Structure 1
Amino acid sequence: MAVGSVQITGTGQLLELQRRLRAAGHENIRASMQRRTRRAAEPMRNDLQSAIRGLQISSSGRSGRGGGPSPTSRPLRATIAGAIRISVRVSGNPGARVWVDKGQLPPDLRRMPQVINEGRIRHPVFGNRSKWVTQTASPLWWDRTVRTHRTRMEREMARVLDDVRRRLD
């Protein structure tokens, strides 16, 4: 699983329910469904943000030589955590999506969530392209977090769909 997007959709059920909602014209039911879908996805987003913020990144270089302060004002893990988003749709292609919005990341960090998920980060030392360092992180931070939430989200979405279906009948 790649970092970037997790979608929870019960395509057939959601599409059928979307048609019924549109036909019934129940805006309050649609708004409730959208709100509950977002609430179902929020714990996953929050845990993904916590996972990246708390991720230990260590250097494989010589010990005793601290790297010093960052030459930029943007902390790497906090920047990535701030780019994790939720989108919810109840029409078109309905479902919930938790993803890393690469547009919120600086251009030089757009691939970094995927690279960190792989567990090996190789980069120039403070931008000096003649000196490179390899750092390691616990691999699969994204995949493990998504795996722990997937069944809970699917159960919650099934409950939301059943409630909406009951209100339409």
Structure 2
Amino acid sequence: MQNVRLLNTGSLLELSRRLRAAGGENIRQSMHRRIRRAAEPLKSDLQGSIRGLDIRGEGRRPGKRGGPSPTTRPLRASIADAIRISVRTGASPGATVWIDRGRLPADIPMGLVNRIHDGRVRHPVFGNRRRWTQQNASPLWWDRVVRAHQPRINREIERIVDDVRRRLE
């Protein structure tokens, strides 16, 4: 699973330099806001994708006991809440959509998120490290959503760059 970078580096970098030279703080704020707005649907779809991700287990075998989950938060909702957008208009302009490790609960390591992305999660049964189980999920949930949004985002970024160029001329 990779961070998503929404940028046309050369065009945005050149625009960022011209904005600084022109002192166009209002134009820079507008560009920042528009880039964020272009990335918001991607963030929303990523959150919806992980919240609706089907994670299946083997099921309980006859005669096996169950019990309450040792965690207090839903796994998929916690991951969805950790998805963030960062927009920069300075030296390396662009936007990044990523899962913020600092926003994940302590009992959900980033390695678990990566294993869910790979489609296979192996974990102890209710915290018992002597008994393990495997659950399967649809692999590459992040990549599928990003690929679906890529053409729209590229068009939006090109439109934003063209508009800002026109305002600077």
TM-score class normalised by the smaller sequence: over 0.9
Q: How far apart are the structure 2 equivalents of 1:141 and 1:63?
A: 29
Q: How far apart are the structure 1 equivalents of 2:164 and 2:120?
A: 45
Q: How far apart are the structure 2 equivalents of 1:19 and 1:30?
A: 11
- TM-superposition CA deviations, 1:18-49 (whole Å, max 9, x none): 01000111111000000000000000000000
Letter in structure 2 aligned against 1:121: V
Match of 2:27 in 1: 29
Secondary structure of 1:71's partner? coil
Decide whether the 8 Å contact of 1:58 with 1:136 is kept in 2: yes
Equivalent residue runs for 1:51-130 within 5 Å: 51-62=49-60, 67-109=66-108, 110-130=110-130
Letter in structure 1 aligned against 2:23: G
Decide whether the 8 Å contact of 2:68 with 2:126 is kept in 1: no
Letter in structure 2 aligned against 1:84: I
Secondary structure of 1:107's partner? coil
The runs of 5 or more residues in structure 1 that have no matched partner are none
Decide whether the 8 Å contact of 2:60 with 2:66 is kept in 1: no
Deviation (angstroms), 1:63: 5.4
What do you get for the CA RMSD once the two structures are aligned? 1.5
Match of 1:168 in 2: 168
Q: How far apart are the structure 2 equivalents of 1:163 and 1:26?
A: 14
Deviation (angstroms), 1:16: 0.6
Secondary structure of 2:35's partner? helix
Decide whether the 8 Å contact of 1:45 with 1:85 is kept in 2: yes
Match of 1:17 in 2: 15
Deviation (angstroms), 1:107: 3.5
Q: How far apart are the structure 1 equivalents of 2:66 and 2:142?
A: 26
Q: How far apart are the structure 2 equivalents of 1:125 and 1:167?
A: 60
- Shift of the 130–34 alpha-carbon distance from structure 1 to 2, 3 Å rule, reads same
After TM superposition, the score normalised by the length of structure 1 is: 0.93
Letter in structure 2 aligned against 1:7: R
Deviation (angstroms), 1:102: 0.9
Identity of aligned residues (%): 62
Q: How far apart are the structure 1 equivalents of 2:165 and 2:44?
A: 29
Q: How far apart are the structure 2 equivalents of 1:27 and 1:41?
A: 21
Q: How far apart are the structure 2 equivalents of 1:66 and 1:122?
A: 19
- Shift of the 39–63 alpha-carbon distance from structure 1 to 2, 3 Å rule, reads farther
Secondary structure of 2:91's partner? coil
The alignment status of 1:156 with 2:156, answered yes or no, reads yes
Deviation (angstroms), 1:61: 4.0
Deviation (angstroms), 1:123: 0.2
After TM superposition, the score normalised by the length of structure 2 is: 0.93
Secondary structure of 1:166's partner? helix
Deviation (angstroms), 1:104: 1.1
Deviation (angstroms), 1:114: 1.0
